[in-house]
Structure 1
């Protein structure tokens, strides 16, 4: 077993996201092609992003302004982290459909990052990729 993976798993068991991220980063420094470490790091970074987010406040922001791209991205992160993967990805694809220019690119890039964090084994990823491609073209 890779010692960096083991250290990351131990840190996660303690709830120490910073140490887990550091262990995955160290592993990637030694083995840049380590897909498991890249996936683990992407997931830890997702959990770090949502650690202090108030989902109810985000929903209120989106109720007041459905085009609030920042709130939409943050709510999608929360949903994905909670296991509501299909809902989170579908919401962001909808934002891609409604936006243009830099905002659209920002949401697209964030979606791609979520796809990477979830991995291809996640059942919701393939349909969301197809929906994103359809929304873009």
Structure 2
């Protein structure tokens, strides 16, 4: 969950906020990657253009490397012509840009656990990472000119924020309080992390990362207390709002983000007054855990508007 503090208030900068917890479980994959399978090779010096990512090299070739330059991960399958074409197009763009960003590929057929960590629902899927965290993503094939614009936007959003993209001596020194908060969050010490981020927020109420991290911590703290059969309990009591809330949290943790949104949207349609307000408020809280440009969030907000009006 570490990332440079964003500057300014643009949407691109705000996307650095910790906003994809539950949908992209990169920390869990990082822990597994520290015990590579027998015979797995190790990367040296970061991935070349189009390097294939496995559990063994995920940390070094994606997470660590993304602290230096953006890493564009293409989750694909050789069984899909669109996937193959997209990888080829990104390979060409990476070559054109001469190391300003790097391309990594994940074959979902052979690296299913890596794909699962990204919450892949369809291929091809593209996820851009910076400072170890998802920054932007999309699914499906895009025309070459749109890919060029997408990469240029990525480079603009990360300019000067990563060690590999800054001139010598220009990199901002990380605030010790922020570094401590990030370390606690990465270690899973939610209480310490929240206290540290709250202290930062008290001094700087507009601090984007602190606000996003606290939102994420509150969700994880709540969601991990629900029973594993929360979905079944909610299905057995369709009118129980609290049961629906618990089920939606568990579904997000299990990477069924669309299902979680749809469950609460369906409840919005059948509730009124204060109950409807409660459901709408909780749904918006879940939206805010993710990048606002995430397709699931865009669809969810549209469906919520339809349910309300």
TM-score with structure 1 setting the length: 0.89
Seen in structure 2, the aligned counterparts of structure 1 residues 66 and 109 have a Cα distance that, compared at 3 Å, is: same
1:44-86 Cα offsets, whole Å, 9 max, x none, are 1110001221131x23322321111001111111212332212
> Which of the numbers 203, 222, 231 marks the counterpart of 1:59?
231
Counterpart in the other structure of 1:131: 303
> Residues 4 and 27 of structure 1 are in contact (CA less than 8 Å); yes or no, is this contact kept in structure 2?
yes
Q: Give the distance between the partners of 2:288 and 2:175, measured in 1 at CA.
A: 21
> Residues 197 and 210 of structure 2 are in contact (CA less than 8 Å); yes or no, is this contact kept in structure 1?
yes
> Which of the numbers 210, 213, 218 marks the counterpart of 1:37?
210
Seen in structure 2, the aligned counterparts of structure 1 residues 82 and 6 have a Cα distance that, compared at 3 Å, is: farther
Q: Give the distance between the partners of 2:294 and 2:213, measured in 1 at CA.
A: 14
Counterpart in the other structure of 1:3: 176
- 1:13 Cα deviation after fit: 2.3
Counterpart in the other structure of 2:250: 78
Q: Give the distance between the partners of 2:265 and 2:210, measured in 1 at CA.
A: 27
> Residues 234 and 247 of structure 2 are in contact (CA less than 8 Å); yes or no, is this contact kept in structure 1?
no
Seen in structure 2, the aligned counterparts of structure 1 residues 121 and 37 have a Cα distance that, compared at 3 Å, is: farther
Seen in structure 2, the aligned counterparts of structure 1 residues 3 and 67 have a Cα distance that, compared at 3 Å, is: farther
> Residues 264 and 279 of structure 2 are in contact (CA less than 8 Å); yes or no, is this contact kept in structure 1?
yes
> Residues 24 and 41 of structure 1 are in contact (CA less than 8 Å); yes or no, is this contact kept in structure 2?
yes
Q: Partner of 1:119: helix, strand, or coil?
A: coil
Q: Give the distance between the partners of 2:221 and 2:258, measured in 1 at CA.
A: 20
Q: Give the distance between the partners of 1:77 and 1:4, measured in 2 at CA.
A: 30
Q: Does 1:97 align with 2:269?
A: yes
Seen in structure 2, the aligned counterparts of structure 1 residues 2 and 132 have a Cα distance that, compared at 3 Å, is: farther
- 1:136 Cα deviation after fit: 0.4
Q: Give the distance between the partners of 1:32 and 1:55, measured in 2 at CA.
A: 36
Seen in structure 2, the aligned counterparts of structure 1 residues 96 and 33 have a Cα distance that, compared at 3 Å, is: same
Q: Give the distance between the partners of 2:175 and 2:294, measured in 1 at CA.
A: 24
> Residues 96 and 107 of structure 1 are in contact (CA less than 8 Å); yes or no, is this contact kept in structure 2?
yes
Question: Greater helix share, 1 or 2?
Answer: 1
TM-score with structure 2 setting the length: 0.42
Seen in structure 2, the aligned counterparts of structure 1 residues 60 and 85 have a Cα distance that, compared at 3 Å, is: closer
1:77-115 Cα offsets, whole Å, 9 max, x none, are 121233221211111111111111111110001111112
Counterpart in the other structure of 1:19: 192
1:21-48 Cα offsets, whole Å, 9 max, x none, are 1122112111111222211111111100
Seen in structure 2, the aligned counterparts of structure 1 residues 126 and 10 have a Cα distance that, compared at 3 Å, is: same
Count of paired positions = 136
Seen in structure 2, the aligned counterparts of structure 1 residues 34 and 63 have a Cα distance that, compared at 3 Å, is: same
